[in-house]
Structure 1
Amino acid sequence: MRILIIDRQPPLDLRQGNALIGRHIFPLLARRHDLTLVCPVQPGDEEWASAQLREWFTDVHLVPRPKHVAALKGYIEASVGDYLPTPLQPSGARWATTFSHTLQAVTATTAFDVVHTRELPMAAFLRRLRAVPTVLEFIDSAALREQRRRDIATPTSWPRAPIARSIERRAMRACDIATAVSPADAAALRTLAPETDVRIVRNGVDTDYFRPANVQEEPERILFAGAMSYPPNVAAVDFFYRAVWPQVRRRFPLARFVVCGRDPAPEIRALAGDPSVVVTGAVDDMRTWYSRAAVVVCPMTTGSGIKNKVLEALAMERAVVASPLAVEALDVRDNVEVRIADSPTAFAEHCCALMVDREERLRLGRAGRAYVEREHSWEGCAAAYDA
């Protein structure tokens, strides 16, 4: 088949969740199909990105854009051009008009069998494509994410939830099939547009890359991994540090809490003032940091979707303690592949118990890796799109 991919960014950066998915599934789909990509790119990166992308894509069309395409704002910007003349459009809307013209030129010269659009803001361009079956890959539901954020956020952010529902409903009605990575996200999407076919396609993890390493484990080291400018990750670390960490420190005064990930927000950087906390910022190789940790925690209190950090830790045979929300997208079992904690006290108890029980850490680690090998291959993810 000839498949047109409309992406939010070049599928190259393995540190970004959506790019990571594309980077793994598109080379697999390219073995059986002709793929054409249209997406934004940072100005100056066109030649570099195009050279890499042409390994999997028959045709590549990159439209320079200085800023990342935001989720809700990006959809609105792409819609403004329908109502305002170009001189009155804000810069994001003018870029969207240029992007739309590129899409129209591509579809005018090639007959595609399917259009695969990735993420909510790019769904605004679907209405300009006629009579072509469309798949919209949401990854997660913005409406669900914003509703959960509303439950803990300030009133100034509350309008985001109804705006997300409205935009997501419009996007759902513009596609034939929608995909999400978790049952919770899929259920939220079905509620918005019951007439649209919604399917669950879960992320994979590269178990050849993320595998147990010959690195010395530190029994009193606890790790949180993730992009540390992402609000749900910031909220998770704040919860753990304030509600759980004092309980752990009372039993293990020399324990260290390592917060590992790029672009730490100011409140995360401030935690480095505590001698028991290490804030790394960006690191070259996450595998070393996973390997050195006795316990990997994922105490998510908000957000949606699937947590790649959990899949990676399981693939590395790490003992994982997670909140129910952190593993809602996975078919893992409490005390079999992970420990699930629904309160600060439960988190502290699980972490402390695992720090002194190496055999239990090893048992959980082996079971966790067996789970991801069985349920989260990238080949299985690509096959789901082929179906």
Structure 2
Amino acid sequence: MGEIIFLTHRVPWPPNRGDKIRSHHILRKLMEYRPVHLTCFADDEAEEAEESDIKASLASLQIIRRDKSNWLAGIEAVATGRPVSLTSFDSTKIHSYVQGILKARPIDCIFVFSGQMAQFVPADYNGRLVMDFADVDSAKFESYADDGTGPMAWINRREAKLLGAFETQVANRADYSLFVSEAEAQLFRQRSGLTKDKVKAVGNGIDFHFYDPSDVAAVELPHKGPLMVFTGQMDYRPNVEAVLSFSTDVMPQIIKRHADAQFAIVGRAPTDAVRKLDGLNGTMVTGSVDDIRSWIKAADVVVAPLRIARGIQNKVLEAMAMGKPVVASVAAAQGIDAVAGEHLCVANNPSEEAQFVCDLLSNREKAKLLGDSANRLIRSTYSWKTQLADMARLCGIEDDEIIEAAE
């Protein structure tokens, strides 16, 4: 029986943010079938020290602290003509680790999670290679460039061009390239010229036991007015832009009809720009919280007003799994197999977001029906078992191994 090397750009535990959720569940699935060697980066000492039951079951583990500064990564990128996304994650230790495992162990598959980790696959490796891009990152940088001006627009345009070329190069080499939604997969097929037999959609799932609305109490707030909630990592640019827009453009319209409405921005590491929203137009900024589910449970409406978004938004799936009515932008709803108006509200602009929220606050029966419909959809479609059903075969794992693992 062969073994697998799993490369990912962040420690895949705990599964508390979008990319880590996906890598965590894929890793667990592969560990059901084969010994897995994991190498990854940690953003800081706390993440490096995080415990998980996964550790003891891995064939080997290497965690590298990522401490290269942005300016040094930028200088290296300009000097080498490479994308900053690659130079900021480059590591001689990971290169050596992968080479060592390939020499010492019977590796027949390398699974790469996140494009920047593909640089660690040796040029002479000729075994199975599965590349999980999740999103088309180069398209994200194109969006940043289109929305920006001056030097940053140039930097983002350069990154989009170089990263796009790298993505296509990797995908041409890989046996399969995976994306989190059919929309992302189709976009990449158009950009790369590759076909459906090489570029596939493997969606995200939801841990139904964790996101069981009956298993958590709502956070208690002194304020008793209607509550809108946004969840996410609050130093991530699309999340920052989303809450800035909602607080300044949407909340004033909501307050005209619901004077005591509040908007909670719930998530770790809020930037200074996000913190300054606290107290503005009924906005509160919580920072990191003990249990994000308690805030979702307390919400009258969960909002996802992202102006730039790639793939599937876990924040939307989580809220829907907890039976909450969701108002999402077109970008945030993309990739979710849901019917607008039946499972969630999809708004084309800030004014529509305000209108949908106000309508749901004024009609609680309609809000409940929307949330209940969302809950049923997620539970019927978005289990991790369903989403990862074909993962073993993509990695070359034989049918008898799949049957044995199931037994």
Residues 327 and 128 of structure 1: CA distance in aligned 2, closer, same or farther (over 3 Å):
same
Q: Secondary structure at the match of 2:169?
A: helix
2:327 corresponds to: 321
* Aligned residues of 1:172 and 1:189 also touching (Cα < 8 A): no
Q: Secondary structure at the match of 1:383?
A: coil
Q: In the alignment, residue 34 of structure 1 is paired with which amino acid?
A: P
Q: Identify the residue that residue 347 of structure 1 maps to in structure 2.
A: 353
Quick one: which amino acid aligns to residue 152 of structure 1? D
2:257 is the alignment partner of 1:251: yes
> Partner of 2:91 in structure 1?
96
Q: CA deviation at 1:45?
A: 6.5
Which residue, out of 279, 282, 306, partners 2:285? 279
Q: Deviations over 1:20-56 (max 9, x none)?
A: 1122232233222221212234675698457743344
Contact 2:234 2:240 in 1 (8 A): yes
String of CA shifts for 1:216-271, please: whole Å, max 9, x gaps. Answer: 89661111111111110111112212221111011111110111111111111111
Contact kept in structure 2, 1:258 and 1:280, CA below 8 Å: yes
Residues 48 and 81 of structure 1: is their aligned pair in 2 closer, same or farther, counting only changes over 3 Å? farther
Query: Cα distance 1:380–1:18, how it changes in 2: closer, same or farther (>3 A)?
Result: same
Please list the CA deviations of residues 106-162 of structure 1 after superposition, one character each: whole Å capped at 9, or x if unmatched. Answer: 100112121101101111122435111100110111112112222222242332322
Name the structure 2 match of 1:165. Answer: 164
Say yes or no: does 1:132 pair with 2:127: yes
Alignment CA distance shift 1:350-1:341 (3 Å): same
CA distance in structure 2 between the aligned counterparts of 1:173 and 1:97, rounded to whole angstroms: 25
Distance 1:43 1:104, change over 3 A: farther
Instruction: Provide the alpha-carbon RMSD of the alignment.
Output: 2.8
Gaps of 5+ in 2: 394-407
* Pair 1:108-2:103 in alignment: yes
* Aligned pairs (5 A) from 1:98-247: 98-158=93-153, 159=157, 160-195=159-194, 197-213=198-214, 214-215=217-218, 220-247=226-253
Instruction: Give SS of 2:278's match.
Output: helix
Aligned to 1:87: none
Distance 1:136 1:194 in 2: 16
Paired position in structure 1 for 2:301? 295
Contact 1:223 1:296 in 2 (8 A): yes
User: What CA deviation, in whole Å up to 9, does each residue of 1:303-331 have, x standing for no partner?
Assistant: 31210100110011100001111011111
Note the 1:78-93 alignment, pairs <5 A.
none
Q: Distance in 1 between matches of 2:318 and 2:52?
A: 28
- Does the residue aligned with 2:317 lie in a helix, a strand or coil? helix
Counterpart CA distance in 1 for 2:280 and 2:65 is 42
CA distance in 2, matches of 1:329, 1:302: 13
Task: Name the stretch that deviates more: 151-160 or 343-352.
Answer: 151-160
Is the 1:212–1:291 Cα contact (8 Å) retained in structure 2?
yes
Give the CA deviation at 1:93: 7.9
Deviates more, 1:130-139 or 1:21-30: 21-30
SS in structure 2 at match of 1:280: strand
Distance in 1, Cα, partners of 2:205 & 2:234: 22
CA positional deviation for 1:180: 0.6
CA distance change for structure 1 residues 95 and 168 in 2, over 3 Å: closer, same or farther? closer
Opposite residue 107 of structure 1, the aligned amino acid is L
TM-score (norm 1): 0.88
- Give the direction of change, closer, same or farther, for the CA distance of 1:356–1:22 in structure 2 (3 Å limit): same
Separation of aligned partners in 1, 2:179 and 2:37: 22
Q: Does the 8 Å contact 1:27/1:56 carry over to 2?
A: no
Secondary structure of the residue aligned to 2:389 is helix
Which residue in 1 is equivalent to 2:60?
59
Q: CA deviation at 1:94?
A: 10
Asked whether the 8 Å contact 2:227–2:261 carries over to 1, the reply is yes
**Uncovered stretches (5+) of structure 1, i.e. residues with no partner:** 83-91
Per the alignment, in what secondary structure is the counterpart of residue 272 of structure 1? Answer: coil
CA distance in 2, matches of 1:361, 1:268: 28
Tell me the secondary structure at the aligned position of residue 5 of structure 2.
Answer: strand
1:265 — aligned with what? 271
- Distance in 2 (CA, whole Å) between partners of 1:277 and 1:364 is 25
| Residues 6 and 38, structure 1, Cα contact 8 Å, conserved in 2 | yes
Residue in structure 2 matched with residue 86 of structure 1 by the alignment? none
1:267-313 CA-partner distances (Å, limit 9, x unpaired): 11111142611110111101110011100111111131210100110
Corresponding residue number in structure 1 for 2:17? 16
